[in-house]
């Protein structure tokens, strides 16, 4: 089996805004001698409302501080068979209102491009796109046509809607060149400093993509995290029928509705981050994959290293999921579907 991890990150603390966390914590966590006590506080004694944000930051600071993207990649590479392919997703956080980013997105992309030269058979590089960045379309074309980037990464809760007018030429270009798009689709994660969690969720709602898919029917677009763990739990625990307000519908339900409608064969979802709650969510996934449309439009991804933790490192996650799903279903989401989404032979 040729495994494809369709959702992972190797950016470092140098690519994160200086005021990403309050109280100067981002700068403090770059000090090696403070990392262990601060990580313990962030994960276990966090007094702030957005625990998800702090735990994610604690995880990637622990992995990436004082490291290059190459060193981070070599950590995750060691968890998998050596022929595994990885979709590497950069992040452009310059416009989230959290201060200066030490190394801007061009530097992050350039370092990734050099790393691809070292691991050309394993790394599938995507380019991070923010429609607010001047010249973003021309930059994207350059990364694709001159540096071999293979897809596009969007992160709307950083402060732009998926139907932003600045994204129209990018969707047109992606459709014309068979470039897959990966977008953040969960209520958690990073968000613009001016947005509350509720406000940021409106930017990530999977319903936002219906009009995009209608306008660009051959565009391949994936909902990263498949709505997120919170909405997988809502899918199980809260009843919903067609007469109730659509705002009460879980995002997993929305994604399943879009897929199962049969109208959007190029609409995908990946299970990254969400699947780390593997004891329950892997069982849900196994049942969902009995539907033929869901089976062919779901992708494996881990979200390394946002979820890197001692309890469930990458190898344990992948092997546990593989054992739960069985070889046929795991091959479907980790090899067959990714090859189609990524336009691989």
Encoded tokens for 301: 């991804």
Angle (CA) 87-90-93 rounded to 5° is 155
Burial of 33 (0-12, 13-18, 19+ CB in 10 A): exposed
CB atoms within 10 A of CB 327: 10
In a domain, residue 27? The reply is no
In a domain, residue 73? The reply is yes
* Domains in the chain, number: 1
In a domain, residue 276? The reply is yes
Q: What pLDDT shows up at residue 305?
A: 78
Encoded tokens for 230: 């919170």
List CB contacts of 122: < 8 A, sequence separation 6 or more.
77, 82, 83, 84, 85, 86
Q: What pLDDT shows up at residue 313?
A: 72
In a domain, residue 31? The reply is no
Q: What pLDDT shows up at residue 277?
A: 85
In a domain, residue 33? The reply is no
pLDDT by 10s per residue, the chain, length 345: 999 999 999 998 889 898 876 656 666 666 766 666 766 666 565 544 454 556 666 666 667 676 899 999 998 999 999 999 999 999 999 999 999 999 999 999 999 999 999 999 999 999 999 999 999 999 999 999 999 999 999 999 999 999 999 999 999 999 999 999 999 999 988 999 999 999 999 999 999 999 999 999 999 999 999 999 999 999 998 877 766 677 789 999 999 999 999 999 999 999 999 998 888 999 999 999 999 999 999 999 999 876 655 455 788 889 999 999 999 999 999 999 999 999 998
Q: What pLDDT shows up at residue 316?
A: 86
124: domain CATH number? 3.20.20.140
Q: What pLDDT shows up at residue 252?
A: 96
In a domain, residue 106? The reply is yes
Which residue in 91, 86, 83 sits closest to 129, CA to CA? Answer: 91
Query: 2-24: per-residue pLDDT in tens?
Result: 999 999 999 988 898 988 766 56
Owning domain of residue 117: 4-10+67-341
Q: What pLDDT shows up at residue 26?
A: 64
In a domain, residue 270? The reply is yes
CA distance 59 to 130: 25
In a domain, residue 105? The reply is yes
Q: What pLDDT shows up at residue 60?
A: 60
């Amino acid at each position: 089996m040729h495994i494809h991890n369709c959702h992972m990150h190797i950016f470092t603390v140098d690519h994160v805004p200086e005021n990403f966390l309050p109280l100067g914590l981002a700068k403090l966590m770059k000090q090696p001698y403070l990392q262990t006590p601060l990580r313990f506080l962030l994960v276990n004694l966090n007094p702030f409302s957005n625990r998800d944000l702090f735990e994610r930051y604690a995880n990637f600071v622990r992995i990436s501080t004082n490291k290059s993207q190459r060193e981070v990649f070599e950590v995750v590479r060691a968890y998998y068979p050596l022929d595994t392919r990885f979709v590497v997703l950069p992040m452009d956080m310059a416009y989230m209102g959290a201060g200066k980013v030490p190394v801007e997105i061009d530097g992050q992309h350039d370092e990734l491009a050099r790393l691809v030269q070292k691991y050309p058979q394993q790394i599938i590089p995507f380019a991070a796109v923010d429609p607010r960045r001047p010249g973003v379309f021309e930059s994207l074309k350059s990364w694709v046509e001159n540096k071999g980037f293979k897809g596009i990464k969007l992160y709307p809760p950083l402060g732009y809607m998926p139907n932003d007018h600045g994204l129209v030429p990018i969707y047109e270009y992606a459709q014309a060149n068979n470039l897959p798009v990966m977008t953040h689709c969960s209520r958690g994660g990073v968000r613009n400093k001016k947005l509350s969690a509720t406000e940021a969720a409106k930017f990530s709602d999977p319903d936002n993509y219906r009009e995009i898919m209608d306008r660009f029917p051959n565009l391949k677009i994936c909902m990263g995290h498949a709505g997120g763990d919170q909405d997988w739990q809502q899918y199980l625990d809260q009843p919903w029928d067609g007469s109730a307000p659509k705002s009460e519908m879980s995002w997993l339900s929305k994604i399943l509705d879009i897929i199962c409608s049969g109208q959007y064969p190029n609409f995908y979802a990946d299970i990254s981050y969400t699947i780390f709650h593997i004891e329950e969510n892997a069982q849900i996934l196994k049942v969902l994959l009995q539907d033929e449309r869901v089976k062919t439009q779901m992708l494996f991804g881990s979200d390394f290293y946002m979820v890197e933790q001692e309890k469930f490192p990458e190898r344990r996650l992948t092997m546990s999921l593989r054992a739960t799903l069985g070889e046929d279903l795991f091959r479907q989401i980790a090899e067959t579907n990714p090859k189609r989404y990524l336009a691989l032979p």
